[in-house]
Structures are given as C-alpha cells and as structure tokens.
Amino acid sequence: NIGARHRTRARASRSVAMTKKVVLVTGGSGLVGSAIREVIAGERPENEEWIFASSKDADLCDPASTAAMFEKYKPTHVIHLAAQVGGLFANMKYKVEFWRNNIAMNDNIFQECHKRGVEKLVSCLSTCIFPDKTTFPIDETMIHDGPPHFSNEGYAYAKRMVDVQNRMYKAQHGCNFTAVIPTNIFGKHDNFHLDNSHVIPGLIHRGYLCKQKGEPFTIWGSGTPLRQFIYSNDLARLMIWTMREYQEADPIILSVGEEDEISIADVARSVAKALDFQGEVNFDTTKADGQFKKTANNAKLRKYLPDFKFTPFDEAMASTVKWFMENYETPGAVRK
C-alpha cells in the first residue's frame, strides 16, 4: 500500500524532526564556543543542529533582544558561555560593570529558557567564584562558604547567582538547568589583549612581541602562584558531554587533576619554549600575584568519566601558540 508507506515515512521524518536537538551556544565565537564548534565539526552528529551565536546576534543584556534570538532559533538546549570576562586587573578596575552585565545576561537567558521550555541549560562558571579563605582542594559544595577574593567580587558574585538560579528554577519549575566550573581555560581563539586578558594568552602575546623586538620576556608577578589549566578543546568535549548526559542541577568542576597543577613560572617557560624564545626570562615582583592557589578537586568528574584523557599541557600550549603565530598578522583573526 503506497499510501500507508508514505504515511509511515512521513511519521518517521516527523519523529526525527521532533527528536532533533537544536543547541544554541551563546558566546559562540569566543574561546570555548570556538572549541565546541571545532569538536562538533569533527563529530557531525545527525540528531543535533548547533547554532553558535555571538554579540552580533543579540545584546544579551537586553530582554527584548534576547527574546528575539530565542524566537529566531527556537533552541531545545542552550550552552550559555556569553559573559563579561577579564583578567585580574580588569576585574579590579570595573567591578560594577562585571556585576551588572553578567547578572542581566544570566537573568535574560534563564527567563527565556524557562518560558520556552528549553530541555537543558548548561551555564559556565569559574573557580574564581570560590571563597578566598578556604581549604584546598575546593569542591562543588563549597561555592557559598565565604566571600570571594576582593579583586573580582563583581564577577564572582554574579556567577555564584547562576548556581542559586539553577536550584531555584528546578525546585519551582522543574527545569533541567545546571552549570560547569572549569579551571583556567586556554587555547585558540582566546582574548590575547595585552592588558585585559587571562594569564596564558597575555604571556603568549607579550612573549611573542619580546621575541620580535629582541627584548627580555618579563612576567608580571613572582611566578610562584599555582593553577590548574584546561585546554579549550578538552573543555569543549566535556561541556558537550554535560549537555547530553549530566542530569544534576548541582554544578560539576571540569578540571585536570590536582597532580597537574602548575606554577605561573612553569607556564611562562612553556610559553617561551612554544615560541622558541631564546632570550632572558625574568619576573616583575612589583605586580600583584592574585590568589596563591585555588586547587580544584575533579573527583566528581572522575566518578562520571574515569577514563577521560586530557591533552598534555605542553602539547596544548604548542598548538595554541602555533595558531596564534599563524593568525597574528591576519586582520580580525586574533583578539588583541
């Protein structure tokens, strides 16, 4: 019966359409969004359509602009990466802007996801939201145990509220909203601005210029603070897993293990090696160091994914520096 076969095919195609995920990534052109795009391009999942939105698509601080973007793309799943971010010195200088803009963005995203019945929202937090005075290693249960470091309190308190919102929206509306807490992220497509960047892209850019000019490579601070760094492509793979598989409202730390903590001095040496910098490397101890350490416990991640393989640090650094040098002279390719 041709008619019956046609109806069966129509039902099957409708069923595929209905089960297809539409995943909207805010901040899709940034460091993590670009890494997710690269991983998805390699996977080519059949039952998922991925949309990578940037600030050109919507002003997420504006409710109407945010609503229009959701109306246009009609996502079933959202990975919320968009944020006002910066390094230590930017955070100290613009606390009010970091607070207001991040609170506005997050509230608009949560409201749209709730109103439109989005099946899953994954937001991105940071280890800098944890209490300044705490015991180490820190874990997911300790976020609200004391005030964050004074240097970034605007950003940290705004991001802490995401964890509160996840639990409130689940309790009141049954929403499946959660958050990941990566440690320090680095990789291709980072912000390499000399003043308003995080430590690794700032070091890469400064080291590159020092090599060009034949000057000593001067590192801000003593070089003694310890950090866990996660390569953006590793984080991308873990965030995609979170979106598909992780069902808790409580956040999950996405990080290399405690044994992979590295000093800023060793990071600088890795940068110099990747740049093939042969000059003098020294430290300007008149500059602030920030927190000495904020070791994170990745036991929860390892409970779920005991066999996940992280990219070795020097390999990830070499890949990042190679991308930076290849794209440095291309207009608009490197944020600098």
Active site residue 155: yes
Look at residue 248 and tell me whether its pLDDT is greater than 60: yes
**Conformation bin of residue 27: beta by default, left when phi > 0, alpha when psi is -120 to 50:** left
pLDDT given for residue 6 in this prediction: 46
Q: Between β-strands 262-263 and 226-227, what pairing exists: parallel, antiparallel or unpaired?
A: antiparallel
Look at residue 161 and tell me whether its pLDDT is greater than 80: yes
Look at residue 11 and tell me whether its pLDDT is greater than 60: no
pLDDT given for residue 18 in this prediction: 59
Catalytic residue among 155, 169, 208, 231: 155
The whole-model pTM stands at 0.88
pLDDT given for residue 122 in this prediction: 98
Look at residue 114 and tell me whether its pLDDT is greater than 50: yes
Q: What is the rounded distance in angstroms from the CA atom of residue 223 to the CA atom of residue 264? A: 5
What's the whole-number average pLDDT of the chain? Answer: 91
User: What is the mean pLDDT of the segment spanning 317-322?
Assistant: 96
